[in-house]
Amino acid sequence: MIRSGNIATGIQESTKGEVDVKAGGSTVAKIDASGVRSQQGIIRHKNTISTSVTIAADETAVAAGPLTISSTGTLEIASGAIMVIV
């Protein structure tokens, strides 16, 4: 189910080209052209970065390796950010 407007539980398409997955009034994951960003739980992701990815200073990130950065990709980890590759 995809709905417009503010919902408590379900899937909601935003105006920013994102889809929010919500449960109990909280966003538990966001999906956009670059993939799934999960706030909780298990995530699956591609193992190659082929676009520009930035981890902001107020964010932490985790990825399962190996992780490859292609010739068209970049990975920036801002000062104060944390990224762990397991």
Token readout for 12 is 């909601």
Q: Which two tokens stand for residue 20?
A: 């929010």
Q: What is the pTM of this model?
A: 0.56
| Maximum pairwise Cα distance, the chain | 41
d(CA 26, CA 37): 14
Rounded to 5 degrees, φ, ψ at 19 are -120, 125
Q: What is residue 65's predicted lDDT score, i.e. its pLDDT? A: 87
Residue 48 has pLDDT above 60, yes or no: yes
* Tokens representing residue 40 in the block: 């909780």
Amino acid identity of 81? A
* pLDDT given for residue 40 in this prediction: 61
pLDDT > 90? residue 43: no
